[in-house]
Amino acid sequence: MKVIVVTGGVLSGLGKGIAAASIGQLLSKNHVVCPIKLDGYLNVDPGTMNPVEHGEVFVLADGSEVDMDFGHYERFLGITCSRDSSITMGKVYSLVHERERRGDYLGKTVQLIPHVTDVIKELILSASAHADVALIEVGGTVGDIENEMFIEAVRQLSQDVGRKNTLFVHLAYVPRPGWLGEHKTKPAQQSTQLLLQRGIIPDVIIARSETPVDDTIKQKIARFCNCSLVISGHDVRDVYTIPLNFASQGIVETITSSLGLRAEHPDAWQSILNQSVQATEELRIGIAGKYTALEDSYASVVEACRHAAAHLGVRTSFVWIDTSHTIDGLKIADAVDCVIVPGGFGGRGIDGKIEIIRACRENNIPFLGICYGLQLAVVEFARSICGLTGAHTTEIDANTPHPVVDILEEQREITQKGGTMRLGEYEAQIIQPSIVHQLYGQDRVSERHRHRYEVNPKYHDILSSHGLVFSGMYNDLVEFIELPNHPFFVATQAHPELKSNLDKPAPLFMGLLRAALHQERS
């Protein structure tokens, strides 16, 4: 068993997830890599957290709600992760308490060390039992109180599996203040000292900076931090070039010599990336939501657009439409080439989203609705086309005269909030001919879900008799809708962005961007 641990220093938000995913990608051709995320918060999972605070909630195929870094792992490694890979302090403490109540620790004082650290190690080992490499990302920054037990547990783990089977990678911010015009290494040195105090000597330091870090600075960091390899982790236009950037600075050789693993330069993405580098044409993609303050809230939607754009040889720019303000649909329609209304919850921004959907429908602007986006497209269609005045989703208006979107039957009795939605992968039956069938080229389509509401079966007839096509169903649950006689008006109850990657862009995003490109050229 080999262990690679990625820690972060100086600042949070440096991109540890992408760094870990990039290292994993270099190994994934020859080894089974199991990414594991250790998160210090006491929530059992991030499912109930605000995306503006925490970034998008990613949903795995098995229905677990996990940190957005799992999106990077799955996209970079081309794998499907499992719920066991997400280890939060909330999960760890729940387990410790369960065991304590059961009497597993009879006679003992239950303590952070060894009881909590033992549970962390046990969870890491059982999650990665099938793998050659456990790729462990420690959330937060070294020195944070809340991840101390994780740092201690990975230190012990390296002792257990043997130091020669462990590689510690530390991602540290190396600032280049404008008034000095040069990179400064002190913060990286000090965050490395925090690691050393905890008994961990980093083998590799990734010097994270806005601009490339030159050899002199790299050597200085190597000397002061006592580490053999320092890599410049500078900003790049396209995150998918990062594995290649790391590889070009010697990480492959370090992994090979220190762990005896076979790491390889990735080549599969090269031609797709070249195409996207050469692209000159740009598509303006409008994303309408209430969490637009933080792009990370819609991370997978943005990535799915980038995957499709790379395949179509175009660039993307994102127009963030904050629907919590009053919206002029037509003005927005002018400023974008297509619109996505992504998933969401609650009432804020709802009228703006409905207004944008109307503008797209009436003005032939390519539109993709995701989850809430489908539900609101149905509300808009019911009001404008079926004449159902006041139609709404009961999530917002429990007394609407026309509950065209209503709570799922199985959700009615549920009172607990955490992990209780309809979650994970479900297979829809696709009708033929339809745009959705044409895009997927399959009769059955599996996508991931995260919702409590659905299109009310009592309204199926009236909606479809007015021209709304239900192009995919899961029993009587509407999974895909579309409008014929529109350049592209498609929505899904699922989250197809979660399965998109650079090798295999999500078909609905391909359809949306292709339609936008076509409109733009005609």
Binding interface with ligand GLN (CB under 6 A): 343-345, 371-372, 395, 450-453
- Say how far apart CA 399 and CA 390 lie, in whole Å: 10
Nearer of residues 342 and 487 to ligand GLN, judged by Cβ: 342
Q: Contacts from 408-411 at CB under 8 Å and sequence distance 24+?
A: 408/451, 408/452, 408/453, 408/454, 408/477, 411/452, 411/453
**Cβ nearer to ligand GLN, comparing 40 with 349:** 349
* Whether 240 contacts 273, CB under 8 Å: yes
Q: Measured from the CB of residue 226, what is the shortest distance to ligand GLN in angstroms? A: 47
Nearer to ligand GLN, 174 or 378 (CB): 378
Task: Determine which one of 152, 355, 447, 497 is catalytic.
Answer: 497
Closest by CA to 378, choosing from 242, 449, 469, is 469
**1: burial class by Cβ within 10 Å (0-12, 13-18, 19+)?**
middle
Tell the smallest beta-carbon distance from residue 14 to ligand GLN (Å).
28
Sequence-distant (≥ 6) Cβ neighbours of residue 275 within 8 angstroms? 310, 311, 313
Report yes or no: 141 and 170 within 8 Å, Cβ to Cβ: no
Nearer to ligand GLN, 115 or 450 (CB): 450
- Contacts of residue 398, defined as CB under 8 A and 6 or more positions apart, other chains included, come to none
Shortest distance in whole angstroms from residue 421 CB to ligand GLN: 6
| Closer of 246 and 372 to ligand GLN (Cβ) | 372
Shortest distance in whole angstroms from residue 59 CB to ligand GLN: 9
Minimum CB–partner distance for residue 343 and ligand GLN (Å):
3
Residue 441 CA to residue 426 CA, distance in Å, equals 17
497 is a catalytic site residue? yes
User: Shortest distance, CB of residue 65 to ligand GLN, whole angstroms?
Assistant: 11
* Alpha carbon distance 3, 193 (integer Å): 22
Residue of 225, 227, 371, 386 marked catalytic:
371
The C-alpha atoms of residue 490 and residue 445 are separated, in whole angstroms, by 15
Nearer to ligand GLN, 395 or 447 (CB): 395
Tell me the three state secondary structure of residue 465.
helix
Pick the catalytic residue: 72, 170, 451, 495? 495
Beta bridge partners of 474: 477
Q: How far is the CB of 108 from ligand GLN (least distance, A)?
A: 44
Give min distance, CB of 81 to ligand GLN, in A: 19
- What is the C-alpha separation between 244 and 252, in angstroms, rounded? 10
Please say which residue, 47 or 507, places its beta carbon nearer to ligand GLN: 47
Q: Is 54 a catalytic residue?
A: no
Q: What is the H or E stretch that residue 302 is in? A: helix 299-312
Closest CA to 473 of 464, 462, 486: 464
Residue with Cβ nearer ligand GLN (15 or 343)? 343
SS3 240: helix
DSSP annotation of 399: T
Torsion of CA 464, 467, 472, 476, to 10 degrees: -10
Residues tagged active-site: 371, 495, 497
